[in-house]
Amino acid sequence: MQRRYTGENIVNCRDLGGYPAAEGKVTQFGRAIRSAIPNTPTENDIEMLRKLGVKTVIDLRGDAETLDMPSVFASLPDFEYHHISLLETNPVFSKQCTDMCEMYILSLTEYSQNYAAALRLISNLDKPFLFHCFAGKDRTGLLAAMLLGAAGVCREDIIADYQVSYTYFRPFYERELNANSGVIWEKDPSKFYSDPAVMERILDYFEEEFGGFYGYFESLGLSDEEICRLSGLLLP
């Protein structure tokens, strides 16, 4: 198996497999795949996911985003599609938040019941699934951190997994911006940076406010059984 998958309009697409985890285990490939879907997936993109065995797609974008660009997966019979918004990004960031950390904390608090719904759904999946937002960095990055953390992946690897998002999203961003395609609304590339200091601060937030990921899961109302399934989701 491989860590990164190269698509056309599915970009920043990565497997959560291959990380050292709890009890000397390693997270398994082919279970959870994170990505960005900033534009309508092509036929080649869809075929790539079929070959990876993906059966479920979880769309974390805001309601306005899904109205502007409805997901193709909602109409494909061989995919189970779920839309669970974890933030309306643009207006929230510009009007209410001063930095990425504040935006992430807003997502974790104001959309807490949606995180609960997403985690409950994931805890019951037994086939490979894809979860995505627009750039695959913010909302996707937070959920990826939770899944890795639940498996016992160390802090440094969670931060590293977050950090590479801009590297993988940047070619698409620059291509669409230069083509004036209208897909990219944000002209400031720093909004797409995946600064490791941001994820480091968010991991501190989980520890300070909840005692770690498990405390956050409990605050969402997840049962012990659901949390147990999440902890074993990526493990052999």
pTM: predicted TM-score of the whole model, two decimal places: 0.95
How far apart are alpha carbons 56 and 79 in whole angstroms?
6
How far apart are alpha carbons 216 and 198 in whole angstroms?
18
How far apart are alpha carbons 182 and 173 in whole angstroms?
11
Tokens standing for residue 34: 């994170």
Closest of 221, 96, 85, 190 to residue 140, by C-alpha: 85
The average confidence (pLDDT) of the chain is 94
The answer to whether the beta carbons of residues 73 and 178 sit under 8 Å apart is: no
Tokens standing for residue 176: 């669409």
Question: 97 pLDDT band (50/70/90 cuts)?
Answer: low
Using one digit for the tens of pLDDT, what is the confidence trace for 101-140? 999 999 999 999 999 999 999 999 999 999 999 999 999 9
166: pLDDT strictly greater than 60: yes
